[in-house]
A and B are shown apart, each in its own frame.
Chain A
Amino acid sequence: MLAFIIQRLLQAVVVMLSVSFVSFALFQFVGDPINNMVGQDATEAQRELLRERLGLNEPWPLQFIHYIGNIIQGEFGLSYRLGIPVEDLIADRLPATMELVLVSAFMALALGVPMGVYTGLNRNSWLSRLFLTISLIGISLPTFVIGILLILIFGVWLQWLPTFGRAGVVDLGWWTTSFLTLDGWRSLIMPSITLALFQLTLIMRLIRAEMLEVLRTDYIKFARARGLRNRAVHFRHALKNTLVPVITITGLQIGSLLAFSIITETVFQWPGMGLLILQAIQFVDIPVMSSYLVLIAFLFVLINLVVDLLYFIVDPRLRLDSLSRGAH
């Protein structure tokens, strides 16, 4: 198991190095940032000074090493657009996105898993059909349409919820949170539903398909033949066997939640990383773009590690295989 973890960590390092290289290469190939930063009428001396300050005069391998070193120390450079350190920008925006993604992921799992189990067990009930129909809508409607519909219904017509922004935020010093006030929750709820809906339907359909598959297996038949109660057969024996694919997909989906959050944040003017990166792209703000790339890659790698570890917890066959492999 230890060998496996070390192997995975090494892989993670390789992935991170490659991504850093790509994001570093952005600096080299996408225009001259100096033009964007200083006005048309800046003198050549002023430009040279700025170039020096940003370290743009060194040969690129050296720049890359500096770049990596800085990233490791948590320094991502200055934003071309705003002139303030990117890490401060990110630290400012990260909590908004993370809270949005976490609440969405939780919603998708907390509703998707039971709905999937229910529709898998009661294939022909009207409620199952209802769930499946709704899930079709969730899968086929684009995220922004769902968001706009929600805004229209709950924000404009019913006026129950704020239509945009992140209100009621409490600053904890190192983190800003919406979780501590009612207003915070009120502005969080529509964006997270919007973001969660697609994942929810995906998880529901996945669990349902896995459930149907597992219920056909011999060990489920044998469990029934031993007279085990339905509850034990369904929720102990069957559900646990559906977990491996669900963990995989959930891990991948948390990644895509981060990605989809760009759209949701735009629709709801949610002050998260998605909004930040959009503005950065409009301005060709390379340091922000490349830092976003590195950060997202890091989160993906992290999630994948967690997923791998969860496999071990769920499936004993992997545990023992790698034990015996690790022993040699």
Chain B
Amino acid sequence: MTTPAESNLLEVQNLRVDFPTRRGTLIAVDDVSFEIKAGEVLGVVGESGAGKSLTGAAIIGLLEPPGRISGGEVRLAGKRIDNLAQEQIRQIRGREIGMVFQDPLTSLNPLFRVGEQLIETLQTHADLDEKSARKQAIDWLAEVGIPSPEVRIDQYPHQFSGGMRQRVVIALALCANPKLIIADEPTTALDVSIQAQIISLLKRLCREHGTAVMLITHDMGVIAETADRVAVMYAGRLVEIGEARKVIQNAKHPYTLGLMGSIPTIGDTEEELRQIQGSMPRLAEIPEGCAFNPRCPNVSDRCRKHRPELQSVDESSVACWLFEDAAVPSELS
């Protein structure tokens, strides 16, 4: 175990999230470790059900029962936050870690004016009187690119288009100046034409405010453009993590290769389009050994029996037996 570097804003160590059920415990996030440096954008990718959202929810303390953190640690600026009392973690939410959800149409309370929701959030985290809170709210609306914010502030969410609403959501998530934003597929629900605008807005604002981002997405294009590093998840496990450029151009894990292969790039011809066979196992049916082994083109006996751990290969970390020789072998029980 290495001592975490000073500059790490968020450290997730051996995080495990599970759901106790009548027929046993379902492990949805299994032994996941990564860190995010201040101001860094970490992309998180993986098939649907890989555990991306749950990892985000666990970090911010919003897992819904019966889901729970059953192992590992989450540290923010060196301080543990996974075992805090309700009130303490509440004070971290919004102020230290913000969150943006997928669907802007449902993220805003339909019965309150946009301004009321902004002002309420501002006043929760800072001692502001009504007038200066309102002024800041208008400034935030302007900052996320909403035209005539003095008028818009008194309107209700349904008077905004989807893209505009997601701008409001971003203002709400950023208005208490958190050091980290968890953006869970922030553009999936939007028109393709608007997605790029929202991503570049998020990117610009976070750069200006020095906010780190955990960007959960299915869009490799967004990762390539936005992320500094990328983490690949499969069946609740982290299978590869490294610098975005390296992972995209030189993917190591067979699953990552498959993911990259399934995105057609310009100039690709049909024969180049690779597909991963099969689908991700359900939580109750994750195989022994490497979770990816039934679908892996390079599967060996060892993959079926022993689970590979993350190990550095070149500049990335990969959990795959193929690269054992390239790193120090780690013993498994």
- The verdict on A316 contacting chain B, using a C-beta distance below 8 Å, is yes
Residue in chain B with minimal CB distance to A214:
B109
CA distance A314 to B169 in the complex (A): 23
Given contacts A227-B125, A237-B109, A314-B111, contact A222 B169 (CB under 8 A): yes
A227 touches B91 (CB 8 A): yes
Q: Given B93, B106, B113, which contacts A227 in the complex, CB threshold below 8 Å?
A: B93
Q: Are A225 and B94 in contact (CB under 8 A)?
A: yes
A320 to B103, CA, bound (A): 23
Pair B62/A225 contact, Cβ less than 8 Å: yes
Which of B90, B125, B173 gathers the greatest number of chain A CB atoms within 10 Å?
B90
Q: What A residues does B158 contact at CB under 8 A?
A: 316-317, 320
Asked if B242 lies at the interface with its beta carbon under 8 angstroms from chain A, I say: no
B156: chain A residues at CB < 8 Å are 316-317, 320
CB < 8 Å: which of A222, A224, A228, A232 contacts B108?
A222
Min Cβ gap A33→B in Å is 54
B92 CB–A CB distance under 8 Å: yes
- Give chain A residues whose Cβ lies under 8 Å from the Cβ of B92: 227
Is the CB of A315 closer than 8 A to any CB of chain B? yes
Q: Are A218 and B103 in contact (CB under 8 A)?
A: yes
Q: How far is the CA of A315 from the CA of B110 in the complex (A)?
A: 8
A320 contacts B120, C-beta separation under 8 Å = no
Contact mask B114-130 → A, CB, 8 Å, 1/0?
Answer: 00000011001100000
Is B300 engaged at the interface, CB distance under 8 Å to the other chain? no
A128 within 8 A of B: no
For A218, A227, A228, A229, the residue with the greatest tally of chain B CB atoms inside 10 Å of its CB is A227
- Chain A contacts for B120, CB-based, 8 A: 228, 232, 236
Q: Return the chain A residue nearest B60 by Cβ.
A: A225
Contact yes or no, B176 A219, CB < 8 A: no
Which B residues are CB-close (under 8 A) to A227? 90-95, 121, 124-125, 176
User: Nearest chain B CB to A245's CB is how many angstroms away?
Assistant: 13
Are A222 and B110 touching (Cβ within 8 A)? no
Q: Which of A225, A228, A240, A317 has the most CB of B within 10 A?
A: A225
* B99 contacts chain A at the CB level, 8 A cutoff: yes
Other-chain residue from A229, A237, A314 in contact with B124 (beta carbon distance below 8 A): A229
Query: Could you say which residues of chain B place their CB within 8 Å of the CB of A315?
Result: 110-111
Contact A228–B111 (Cβ < 8 Å): no
Q: Is the CB of B108 within 8 A of A237?
A: no
* Most chain A CB neighbours (cut-off 10 Å) among B62, B86, B103, B120: B120
Whether A219 lies near B172 (C-beta < 8 A) is no
Determine if B275 is an interface residue (Cβ-Cβ < 8 Å): no
Cβ contacts under 8 Å, A219 to chain B:
106-110
| B62 partner residues in chain A, CB cutoff 8 A | 221, 224-225
User: Cα distance A240–B120 when bound, in Å?
Assistant: 16
Interface residues of A in 270-328 (CB under 8 A from B): 314-317, 320
Taking the complex as formed, is B98 at the interface, i.e. its CB lies under 8 A from any CB of chain A?
A: yes
Q: Does B101 contact A (CB under 8 A)?
A: yes
Docked pose: A317 CA to B111 CA in angstroms: 8
Indicate if A226 sits at the interface (CB-CB under 8 A). Answer: yes
Q: Give the CA-CA distance A241 to B113 in the complex, in Å.
A: 14
A133 at the interface (CB under 8 A from B): no
For B158, give the chain A residue with the smallest CB separation.
A317
A314 to chain B, nearest CB (A): 7
A232 with B106: CB separation less than 8 A? no
**Quick check: B121 and A228 within 8 Å, CB to CB?**
yes
Asked if A228 and B101 make an inter-chain contact with CB atoms under 8 angstroms apart, the answer reads: no
Q: Closest approach, in angstroms, between the C-beta of B180 and any C-beta of chain A?
A: 12
Query: Does A217 sit at the interface, judged by CB under 8 A?
Result: yes
Q: Name 17 extra pairs, CB < 8 A, besides A218-B107, A222-B108, A225-B60.
A: A218-B101, A218-B106, A219-B107, A219-B108, A222-B101, A225-B62, A225-B173, A226-B121, A226-B173, A228-B120, A228-B124, A229-B124, A230-B86, A240-B111, A315-B110, A320-B156, A320-B158
* 5 tightest A-B CB contacts, nearest first: A227-B94, A227-B93, A225-B99, A218-B106, A226-B94
A-B contact pairs, 30 of them (CB 8 A): A218-B106, A219-B106, A219-B107, A219-B108, A219-B109, A222-B107, A222-B172, A225-B98, A226-B93, A226-B98, A226-B121, A226-B124, A227-B94, A227-B121, A227-B124, A228-B94, A228-B120, A229-B124, A240-B111, A240-B112, A241-B111, A314-B111, A315-B110, A316-B110, A316-B111, A316-B113, A316-B158, A320-B156, A320-B158, A320-B159
